[in-house]
Structure 1
Amino acid sequence: MSETKQNALELSSEESSNMQSVVNEETATTETNNSTVDPHADREASKYDNPIPSREFIIEMLEKEQKPMRIKQIADSLEVDDEERFEALSRRLKAMVRDGQLLRNRRGAFGLIQKMDLIKGKVLGHPNGFGFVEPEDGGSDLFLSEKEMHKVFHGDIVIASVVGVDRKGRREGMIVEVVKHTNEKVLGRLHYEDGLAWVQPSNSKIAQDIFIPQDGLIDAAEGQIVMVEIIHQPTKRSSAIGKIIEVVGDYMAPGMEIDSAIYAHGIPNEWSPELLAELDDIPNEVTEAEIEGRKDLRSLPLVTIDGEDSKDFDDAVFAKRRKKGWRLVVAIADVSHYVKSGSVLDKEAFERGNSVYFPQKVIPMLPEKLSNEMCSLNPKVDRLCMVCDMSIDDEGKLERTQFYDAVMHSKARLTYNQVHDILTNDQSEHRDTFKDLVPNLVDLNDLYQILKTARESRGALEFDTVETRIVFDDARKIKEIVPVHRNDAHKLIEECMLMANVATARYLKWHKIPILYRVHEKPSEEKLNNLRTFLGDFGLFLEGGDDPSAEDFAAVAEKVQGKPYSHIVETVLLRSMNQAVYQPDNLGHFGLNYENYAHFTSPIRRYPDLLIHRAIRFAWQKKPVETYEYSEADMKTFGEHCSGTERRADEATRDAVTFLKCEFLSHRLGEEYDATISAATNFGLFVELDSLYVEGLVHITELGEDYFHYDQSRHCLKGERTGKVYRLGDRIRVQVAKVDLDERKVDLRFITSLTEGEDIDAAPEDQNDEEQPKKRKKKRYYRKKGGKKPAQS
């Protein structure tokens, strides 16, 4: 490929990401609509010897003409009159069609997609064969039938038209054009039958099989996991065809579930030779030249507090009581010192977006030399850090913040359990081991108690959910699944990190530098309506009208504390929330009840934090904001990408863990367990088995001879004839009936109900009347037994 063509491709990608925001700038369009002067002519001239009109100007011209135009008409309108420029314009128009900015109709005319009532977006597949288009403009998803999904794979970029509304009231779409096929390689399980071969993709969101012709086969056995290169993408009339390029391993081999998840979700997991060469230039220890100009904190008793299995230590903390208020020092690994903008390391970190944590395996965002060594705040060695030095008053309010570069020397690598034992047990052996640090830990705990009170006063949401940890045997099969309980040491560190993140967001907002905020928007109107209907069955009411605050949610959670149904209510409150995302628009963090919030504390494992560190370093230089290397548009692109890699990591780890749990349960067919309903759907109940923390499905046909109807707002199934109700949190007894490892599904047989179902339409009794439980028939409610992991804040 020539350098000119390569530059053109790079430019088209950059322009495409910024196109919509540019087109919407009224000041620009007002000046150019009445002129043949391209406002981006200088940019084009700097890149090409014989420049043509920019993509922005072409779109503006088509908007002004208000009709699709053939290439000759476009050329005349833009005054492109010589043959060479006409050919360049033709290539640009085709590239704009390729990138989904224009569409060429059957008459050969180019038109604006939004003017044709078309939607560009990403295909999201579903294991059951149907799918959705997630619009680029952020609108509601477009439903795709199984027939439409036959044309594409999950992740493809398409242009679709709205063809109607389905029976559920969703907009239904038809794929007009595939802009980009994103699956060049697919991992899956090989099958043979009657002389035919096909691969079943490991990614459950790709529901189509990939057929393998004889010349695409290599020496691979039935059932093995293989990597397939797609040589013919799926179309309306034909399925995908591929050739096997690698045998990854046997289906049930230890660790294969993680390898499958890595490949299936496209998680980068190899370092390029260029990156390793760049890594070799980084010294293996902190040098005197690097320390020069930094504040020396090596005498300060900073410590790290993490889990037993942690190897990358992002943060160290220190707190000290003052005459008035507190000093809190949060020292964060100075990743931006080693990972320079535009470097190979930087590009790879951006591509990965974040570290991915599987059971017993981590796919790091940065190579081990940085993540576990030079950037990790290991004990008893010098490390470079960026410090957030805060003054906090006795009410837990942040008063002042200072950021600076420093060198530190961690005094100890502590674990949450060690710190908790030190703070709660006067006879703890750890008090002797770390006796010099005990006073500092006591100060940290005293400050935590103040911050905890401030959090409660602020009305931030906090749900006591139970996470789980998989314990493996020597063959790397699940031995047991155990709950992991958060103690006050976890919460102590969390509050310190929250305070540093808030201080960072406030600091950079004041400097007006484009950054990524961690945004958690308020629940939608539909979710609020469903939540209020559900709460009404318990005699509860969510205050705040159409705009409830986090305090209003916290008030509901507080009312049910100690009640047998508290976990049911907390779970539904949690599910009504939106997912937190990264974006440059500061809309606040609803769950934490912060107006300003950004991620600063984990640059080893999160790319947005690394960007924040660069913004802080730029703020120190006191240069005009206009000279900052990143724009608002850049941050929008970064935010969308990093939010996507975060979801990708969640999906990959969930797939791996689900497979492990299914394999664990496949050896327990016929066994019976008490279980708790964790979700209700129109096709059955999802329940979590006691002590195993594994989820399975009780199909609706298992519930008895009745017509059961799903009530979405009340999270329940209700029998039409019997009035029997099964809802979130109810207790039932089930039997393991079937485990499908390929589909990662567990089918359960209903045995009996352990909770007395009630007519939920009946008026609720006064939940505050202490005498009422003695007068009415006693009910057996769900006892607290874990729950869903909350969305990351």
Structure 2
Amino acid sequence: MKEKPILLTEFEGQVNGHRDGHGFVVRDDGQPDVYLPPNEMRAVLHRDRVKVQVVRQDRRGRPEGRVTEIVGRSSAPIIGRLLQESGVWLVAPEDKRYGQDVLIPKGAMGQAQPGQVVVVELTEPPALYGQPVGRIKEVLGEIDDPGMEIEVAVRKYGVPHEFSDAALAQARALPDKVRAADKKHRIDLTDVPLVTIDGEDARDFDDAVYCEPAKVGRGKGWRLLVAIADVSHYVETGEAIDIDAYERATSVYFPRRVIPMLPEKLSNGLCSLNPEVERLCMVCDMLINAQGDIHAYQFYPAVMFSHGRLTYTEVAAILQNTRGHEAQQREALVPHLLNLHDVYRGLLEARKRRGAVDFETTETQIVCNEVGQIEKIVPRTRNDAHRLIEEAMLAANVCSAEFIQHGKHPGLFRVHEGPTPLKIDILRQYLKALALPYSVSDEPTPLEFQQIATATGDRPDALQIHQMLLRSMSQAIYSPNNEGHFGLAFEAYTHFTSPIRRYPDLLVHRVIKCILGERKYSLPNLPTPGEAQLKLAKRLADRVKPPAPGDKPVRAKKPNAELLAWQAAGLHCSANERRADEASRDVEAWLKCKYMREHLGEEFSGKVSAATSFGLFVTLDSMYVEGLVHITELGGEYYRFDEARQELRGERTGMRYALGTPVRVQVSRVDLDGRRIDFRLVREGEELVARALRDKKGGSAAVAGEGGSTRAARKRKPKAGEAGPSAQPGPSGIWSGGKPAGKPAGRGAGSSAGKSRKGKR
């Protein structure tokens, strides 16, 4: 069959480097990324802008390109460690996507010392036969200095971490407390016992709640008040603080440190709903019937007085025992907390009727000591107090979305689309491979997912099944086009409840105020979307479903300037939310790697959290740390990877490793720079293989966890530095074995669970 000729058309885009030496060009037109082989990456660096020609298809069918022109060099600084090799000074980038060390002339070293972490500014770009040259712009300190991982991450991901002088000056000029003039045209709620309920380590308080019984229609119900900090009163569109807040788009949470969206005077002071002080707020005042349905609502600006700063642990204890010590300490508030619990149960019933997806997953919290080192990693436990606040916030967010829709005013919705056809197909194959009597339709509803989760909740492989259900979901984004929220089963949903730490919430507040005042809110002039926004726009374009055969073509309306501005704002906020999550995960992965360096050679029990063609990712039971058991560490066996079942199966023994399979591993290698932890399988794994062989000879199936036979497989060539197989593999599949016992398993990957905040959805 003749290959189709490749049209040598030039495309422009941004280089995205890979730690293995090759790279990709993310095209501006949203078409598939163009692969750049290592030789094409010698004259460019990660984040450079280039023009490329597609010259061929590589072995995996990807378009492969040749750089024809370097349009622009990235101005982002490079962070790395200063090293001396053979009398030459160089900086090894911390971000391995850069692929090349930076040469540092002797006169460009400043005060930096060998081994220190520094920020480098390029003075000469790389060439085909020459490394990049730079000068040291800033010395961050020693690699083991407390908080160094955060200093690296904020620069590595381009997180703004210093407020402009103009923003700080504006913050200093703000009052220390609510003034009489600020209270004009506001409802006085200071006598209403509103309270905040947050975690023990919370410092900014966005939301306060109050509930009382009420007659709704002809039946009983509740009146629920959700009061949210009125940030928009102090932060006006286009001012210095607003410009800085928009650039950040979100607060970034690290262990022991927060990079706030707003200056501290606002985030922890004037806007925070601190106890026993007056604060300005925007209120969503709702009437909810006995079935948990929102019967009516209204929005209004108010002034409030928090009657208590409560914690989740404290409220849960009060709800469990209204005569206990905690209840005695908060005696006046106990009746109102019981009302909140009652309305929560009603809202929970409504949630079940909607069919909203609700998977219980394990989230972790890193507990650090005074110098920033991990003391322990513990699971975050969710109690009724967490769920109570979550349901109250969801109700307020739904009312906000509906209010904006009815007001026919543009705004940002929180959009969560259903799974793509590809993900639906993968999920169907997986459920079929497990012989489960469940499937999903072509246009699945959240209820279908929730029914599968509920029906399989008691199975030993429930974790495995629920993880696959989660993986089939899309990521939520901000968009002016309301497409509903699939996971929560809402037709319209937005974010209203956290304007201290999320810019979309601040925009929603401004829009609601303008609708109340019968005015129009106009966004300021926004900058051109950057690399992250363009990547996100491309991913969103890929989600669009092609028209079915026979469908009439629909002529898309050309968006006007106003809608384009809101789309740009949505892309910006969504991309910076991803940036914050990536920076947080990077820091947590670094801390976990550093923590596990102290446990090299030790053995732990764990469970398989992912199966791939090159090995198993295992999460330790006691430490909640994930590492890789490389395929060569699974014993002398030939393994096939079954994508449908998400498992590895041994050809000789029939041994299977799938999600949730219990194993025992030894920590064999930790790569701090690469954020990677490698395990090797020990004892139990070897015993299981021996038992599998005995069972197979006896004619019975051998299973490590749930699973079945496989057919599809892929062959993997060993990388440089990895041992190859001790025997030739068959026509397809992977051979495990051939490496001396106790040696590192090659390159793995560290992983960590991101920190959860209420209202994240």
TM-score, L = length of structure 1: 0.79
The residue that corresponds to 1:496 in the other structure is 392
Q: Does 1:563 align with 2:563?
A: no
2:344 and 2:609 mapped to 1: Cα distance?
33
Q: Does 1:652 align with 2:583?
A: yes
| TM-aligned CA distance change 1:126 to 1:550, over 3 Å | farther
User: What's the secondary structure of 1:668's corresponding residue?
Assistant: coil
The residue that corresponds to 2:670 in the other structure is 739
Of all paired residues, the percent bearing the same amino acid is 47
Shift of 1:562: 1.5
Shift of 1:287: 0.3
Shift of 1:158: 4.1
Shift of 1:121: 4.0
User: What's the secondary structure of 2:202's corresponding residue?
Assistant: coil
2:72 and 2:490 mapped to 1: Cα distance?
39
Q: Does 1:369 align with 2:300?
A: no
Equivalences for 1:296-315 in 2 at 5 Å? 296-315=188-207
The residue that corresponds to 1:402 in the other structure is 298
Q: Which is further off, 494-503 or 324-333? A: 324-333
Shift of 1:624: 5.9
The residue that corresponds to 1:58 in the other structure is none
Query: Is contact 1:532-1:541 (8 Å) kept?
Result: no
Q: Which is further off, 405-414 or 747-756? A: 747-756
Q: Which is further off, 546-555 or 211-220? A: 211-220
The residue that corresponds to 1:295 in the other structure is 187
The residue that corresponds to 1:681 in the other structure is 612
2:30 and 2:84 mapped to 1: Cα distance?
42
Query: Is contact 1:465-1:787 (8 Å) kept?
Result: no
Equivalences for 1:199-598 in 2 at 5 Å? 199-324=91-216, 325-598=221-494
1:541 and 1:218 mapped to 2: Cα distance?
67
What CA deviation, in whole Å up to 9, does each residue of 1:653-687 have, x standing for no partner? Answer: 11111111111111111111111111122221111
User: What's the secondary structure of 2:637's corresponding residue?
Assistant: coil
2:8 and 2:504 mapped to 1: Cα distance?
36
1:444 and 1:553 mapped to 2: Cα distance?
29
The root-mean-square deviation of aligned C-alpha atoms, in Å, is 2.6
Query: Is contact 2:424-2:440 (8 Å) kept?
Result: no
Query: Is contact 1:304-1:313 (8 Å) kept?
Result: yes
Shift of 1:515: 1.2
2:656 corresponds to which of 725, 737, 741: 725
2:481 and 2:66 mapped to 1: Cα distance?
32
| TM-aligned CA distance change 1:423 to 1:684, over 3 Å | same
1:385 counterpart letter in structure 2: C
1:583 and 1:136 mapped to 2: Cα distance?
20
Q: Which is further off, 311-320 or 206-215? A: 206-215
Shift of 1:347: 0.5
Higher helix share: 1
Shift of 1:266: 1.4
Query: Is contact 1:202-1:261 (8 Å) kept?
Result: no
1:662 and 1:133 mapped to 2: Cα distance?
31
2:87 and 2:577 mapped to 1: Cα distance?
42
1:193 counterpart letter in structure 2: E
Query: Is contact 1:531-1:572 (8 Å) kept?
Result: yes
2:487 counterpart letter in structure 1: G
1:461 and 1:118 mapped to 2: Cα distance?
45
1:622 corresponds to which of 512, 518, 526: 518
| TM-aligned CA distance change 1:396 to 1:122, over 3 Å | farther
Query: Is contact 1:726-1:757 (8 Å) kept?
Result: no
1:137 and 1:179 mapped to 2: Cα distance?
16
1:166 corresponds to which of 58, 70, 88: 58
What CA deviation, in whole Å up to 9, does each residue of 1:749-780 have, x standing for no partner? Answer: 1214559689x9xxxxxxxxxxxxxxx98977
Q: Which is further off, 449-458 or 118-127? A: 118-127
2:263 and 2:107 mapped to 1: Cα distance?
39
1:302 counterpart letter in structure 2: L
Gap regions ≥5 residues in structure 2: 1-6, 526-560, 693-699, 707-750
What CA deviation, in whole Å up to 9, does each residue of 1:343-384 have, x standing for no partner? Answer: 010100011110000000000000100000000000100000
The residue that corresponds to 2:622 in the other structure is 691
TM-score, L = length of structure 2: 0.82
2:53 and 2:470 mapped to 1: Cα distance?
34
1:298 counterpart letter in structure 2: T
1:403 and 1:580 mapped to 2: Cα distance?
26
| TM-aligned CA distance change 1:423 to 1:635, over 3 Å | same
Query: Is contact 1:540-1:556 (8 Å) kept?
Result: no
2:22 and 2:243 mapped to 1: Cα distance?
35
Q: Does 1:708 align with 2:639?
A: yes
2:506 and 2:566 mapped to 1: Cα distance?
13
What CA deviation, in whole Å up to 9, does each residue of 1:356-415 have, x standing for no partner? Answer: 000000000001000000000001000001111122222222222211111000110000
| TM-aligned CA distance change 1:490 to 1:625, over 3 Å | closer
Bigger relative contact order, structure 1 or 2 (CA pairs below 8 A, ≥6 apart): 2
Gap regions ≥5 residues in structure 1: 1-114, 761-775
1:498 and 1:702 mapped to 2: Cα distance?
46
Q: Does 1:633 align with 2:564?
A: yes
1:154 counterpart letter in structure 2: H
1:538 counterpart letter in structure 2: L
User: What's the secondary structure of 1:437's corresponding residue?
Assistant: helix
| TM-aligned CA distance change 1:173 to 1:585, over 3 Å | farther
Shift of 1:234: 3.5
Query: Is contact 2:523-2:565 (8 Å) kept?
Result: no
Shift of 1:717: 2.1
